[in-house]
Amino acid sequence: AQSVTQLDSQVPVFEEAPVELRCNYSSSVSVYLFWYVQYPNQGLQLLLKYLSGSTLVKGINGFEAEFNKSQTSFHLRKPSVHISDTAEYFCAVSEMDTGRRALTFGSGTRLQVQP
């Protein structure tokens, strides 16, 4: 079985500062990796996903993430955040080569961008 750990439950940051949201996973098989964002009172929206190939993945709204297989990490970064980036961010995995298609989510990181 796989699990996802998001190391920070809350990350406060000032506007225009860089941010990194950390995600580590554990799985007995290879996985696909995803980052979703949830704005207040809304559903989840896909930011980016890693399936294969280049370990640096670029997503929407200026976000990017880097897959590190040796450290089993998939940290999300943005060089300069905006107030509108305030939201909850979820890291998720799905297993390759198994019958399970559903996503396993981390507990989420609340990004609070302050002016």
Which residues of the chain form contacts with another protein (CB under 8 A)?
A: 32, 36, 41-46, 49, 51, 90, 94-96, 99-108
Tokens read off for 26: 């554990």
Which whole-number Å values give the CA distances from 43 to 15, 74, 109, in the listed order?
24, 22, 15
Nearest approach in angstroms of CB 98 to another protein is 8
Residue length of the chain: 115
Closer by beta carbon to another protein, 15 or else 59: 59
Nearest approach in angstroms of CB 17 to another protein is 27
Nearest approach in angstroms of CB 108 to another protein is 7
Closer by beta carbon to another protein, 42 or else 80: 42
Closer by beta carbon to another protein, 49 or else 77: 49
Cα-based torsion angle of the residue sequence 22, 7, 110, 115 in order, rounded to the nearest 10 degrees: -70
The single-letter code of the amino acid at 60 is I
